[in-house]
Structure 1
Amino acid sequence: MSFNPLSIILQQNRLTGPNYIDWKRNLDIVLTAESYKFVLTEQCPDAPTGESTQEEIEYHRKWVKADEMARCYILASMSNVLQHQHQDLPTAYDIMNNLKELFGHQDRASRQEAMRKIMTATMQEGTPVRDHILKMMAYLNEIQILGGEIDGETQIDMILQTLPRSFEQFLLNYNMNKRVYSLAELLTELQEAEGLFRHNAQIHYAENGSTSKPKGKKKKK
């Protein structure tokens, strides 16, 4: 494994046990950036035979190489004791599965806490919608990293329930038109809606607020 800046993330946060959640979060970042994360969710394809297509041969080669790199990243970022315990396991998936058995209780507690934050979150009027949605996306990503599964449509519904009354028209349009958004698309649409609210508020102030004359004091006779 060649040295690169990403490996520093793991070297500075080596897995010792109690820091399993933080280590796993950093590992997720590194494996995603290096395009190796798929080996943790996709099974190793069968070894090529004389009847295998070129595409099948290439995919098998790609999977084996990615697994080798992911396994190196994982082992290199462990304490010496944990490294010794896991170095004979054949795949990155096997290593992560064994770590889950050892430290999975941390996953459950942290996942429940992230879920609690989502269920109790409420965007305050005047808060930039971008900041709020990014915070919600971070909670959802945390749940995913910790092994929770929430489908895309449910994620959108959960976020929409946290919006203040100023977004009621947006919610009405969303439901009536049966819109389907990704998280990124939802963020864009909400920012556009927020800009429209502000624009209309400025027009309302210009038409009504500026025309109202301050009341002067009556002169005494």
Structure 2
Amino acid sequence: MSNTLRMNLEDVETAYDIMEQLQEMFGHNYGQARFETNKKYANARMTLTMHVRDHFMKMTNYFQEAELHGATIDEENRVGLILNSLAPTFLTFTTNYFLNKMNYGMTQ
């Protein structure tokens, strides 16, 4: 913790009061944090050397981080974002998914 922050919170007695103070100091940045997180998963692209499982886990972490900042992403959009971020070698798979209007969830 920085010295300035420590001095500002020096007289605060309970953990709840500390959290309230921190929320007042830093809470206004939630919109910016949500934007930055949304940008992460919107711009994420799978590399040719990356395993699909690893890419899926990375995208899932981005979604969870976005939800922590107040964003809501339904499962259908999550699947679409992941499919669109796959490497070009999966183009026939993603085209088949969208053309046949398949409706798989995140676990499938």
Q: How does 1:52-201 map to 2 (within 5 A)?
A: 80-81=13-14, 83-84=16-17, 102=24, 103-185=26-108
Considering Cα pairs closer than 8 Å and 6+ residues apart, tell me whether 1 or 2 has the greater RCO.
2
Q: Provide the aligned C-alpha RMSD in A.
A: 2.6
Kept in 1: contact 2:59–2:82 (CA 8 A)? yes
- Alpha-carbon separation, structure 1, partners of 2:42 and 2:17: 41
- Alpha-carbon separation, structure 2, partners of 1:153 and 1:124: 23
Give 2:101's aligned amino acid. Answer: K
- Aligned residues, how many? 96
- CA shift, 1:141, in A, is 0.7
- CA shift, 1:82, in A, is 5.1
- Alpha-carbon separation, structure 2, partners of 1:158 and 1:121: 9
Structure 2 segments unaligned to the other structure (5+ residues): 6-11
**CA 1:84 to 1:124, structure 2 compared with 1: closer, same or farther past 3 Å?**
closer
- Alpha-carbon separation, structure 1, partners of 2:17 and 2:38: 35
- CA shift, 1:139, in A, is 0.3
Structure 1 segments unaligned to the other structure (5+ residues): 1-16, 18-78, 87-97, 186-221
TM-score normalised per structure 1: 0.38
- Alpha-carbon separation, structure 2, partners of 1:112 and 1:84: 28
- CA shift, 1:117, in A, is 1.1
- CA shift, 1:85, in A, is 8.0
Question: Percent identity, aligned pairs only?
Answer: 31
Summarize deviations over 1:169-221 as a string: whole Å, max 9, x none: 21122112211122222xxxxxxxxxxxxxxxxxxxxxxxxxxxxxxxxxxxx
Q: How does 1:24-43 map to 2 (within 5 A)?
A: none
Summarize deviations over 1:105-161 as a string: whole Å, max 9, x none: 232222111111112211111211111110011000111111111222111111111
Please list every run of at least 4 consecutive aligned residues from structure 1 whose deviation after the TM superposition is greater than 6 angstroms. Answer: none
- Alpha-carbon separation, structure 1, partners of 2:88 and 2:18: 54
Give 1:169's aligned amino acid. Answer: T
